[in-house]
Amino acid sequence: QSALTQPPSVSGSPGQSVTISCSGTISDVGSYNRVSWYQQPPGTAPKLMIYEVSYRPSGVPDRFSGSKSGNTASLTISGLQAEDEADYFCISYTSSSTFVFGTGTKVTVL
Amino acid sequence: EVQLVESGGGLVQPGGSLRLSCAASGFTFSNYWLHWVRQAPGKGLEWVSRINSDGSNTSYADSVKDRFTISRDNAKNTLYLQMNSLRAGDTAVYYCARQSKYGLDWWGQGTLLTVSS
């Protein structure tokens, strides 16, 4: 199972919006809405930010949003803040009853 | 409060074995599916394995299939990962994570496994 493809890095100034893509196949992202996104600041465990493509857990700011089109899921951070600087990973359920993570994206706040 | 605490990591020679543990508290352990996820130094996250709530169903990444075994003891609120035939490529921080309807909603802080001679 190959990792889902994410851009290595994205950046934006405070207040701007950035979008991270997560490209998979018909065997994972394209067939299931079980796509989640995780935020991982350096040296810490991942934190759930989005589940089932577009739902936010309690406590996650509403500037984080998720969507999906075809085999690609996306995470958008609107109104970027300094505290959003971290690595972000997507994960999808697969047709093999396994899970696969994305390659990860480093978000830099300029 | 939900807590997941991994232990058992360390330095192992190639070809060796090790068992990781994940002690859970703060929730009804037997109601949840659990996962192991690993992260090699400076690299991304890699899903390793999953077990259902009563331990009757498991799945593995191709990279660890036939070498790693996930199990759980619901009486002890503990998740395990038995790792055999270890390779240098298995060197990573290993996290346990709880799966809820929201996804992998709680993670431990991880335990480091180093495979080296």
CB contact under 8 A, B105 and A102: no
Is the CB of residue A24 less than 8 Å away from at least one CB of chain B? no
> What pLDDT does B101 receive?
85
Residue A96 sits at φ, ψ, to 5 deg, of: -90, 10
| pLDDT value for B104 | 92
The pLDDT of A5-22, averaged and rounded, is 97
Angstrom distance (rounded) from CA A80 to CA A50: 16
| Paired tokens of B106 | 């709680």
- Convert the pLDDT of each residue in B40-90 to its tens digit: 999 999 999 999 999 999 999 999 999 999 999 999 999 999 999 999 999
Name the minimum distance, in Å, from the CA of B8 to any CA of chain A: 18
The three-state secondary structure class of B30 is helix
Q: What is the mean pLDDT of residues A84-91?
A: 97
Residue A5: CA count within 13 A, CB half-sphere? 5
**Cβ-based burial of A87 (10 A; exposed 0-12, middle 13-18, buried ≥19):** buried
> Per-residue pLDDT for A1 more than 90?
no
Asked whether B104 and B49 are in contact (CB, 8 A), the reply is no
Q: Is the pLDDT of residue A72 over 90?
A: yes
Residues in chain A, total: 110
> Are the beta carbons of B14 and B114 closer than 8 angstroms?
no
Structure tokens of A110?
């300029």
Res. A5: pLDDT tops 90: yes
For residue A87, give Cα distances in angstroms to A8, A101, B33, B90, B98.
Answer: 9, 13, 25, 22, 20
CB A15 within 8 A of CB A74: no
Question: Cβ of A91 and B107 within 8 Å?
Answer: no
Residue B5 with chain A: CB contacts under 8 Å: none
Contact call for B59 and A97, based on CB within 8 A: yes
Summarised one tens digit per residue, pLDDT across range B10-37 is 999 999 999 999 999 999 999 999 999 9
Residues B45, A40: C-beta atoms closer than 8 Å = yes
| Chain B residues touching residue A101 (CB < 8 angstroms) | 37, 44-47
E strands of chain A, at which residues? 9-12, 18-23, 35-40, 47-50, 64-69, 72-77, 86-93, 99-101, 105-109
Cβ-defined contact of A99 to B46 (cutoff 8 Å): no
Q: Are A104 and B108 an interchain contact pair (Cβ–Cβ within 8 Å)? A: no
Both tokens assigned to A106: 């480093």
pLDDT for B102 equals: 80
Residue % of chain A over a pLDDT of 70: 100
Mind telling me how many Å the CA of A80 is from chain B's nearest CA? 23
A22 to chain B, closest Cα gap in Å: 14
Percent of chain B exceeding pLDDT 90 equals 97
In chain B, the residue whose alpha carbon lies closest to the alpha carbon of A105 is: B44
Model pLDDT, residue B78: 98
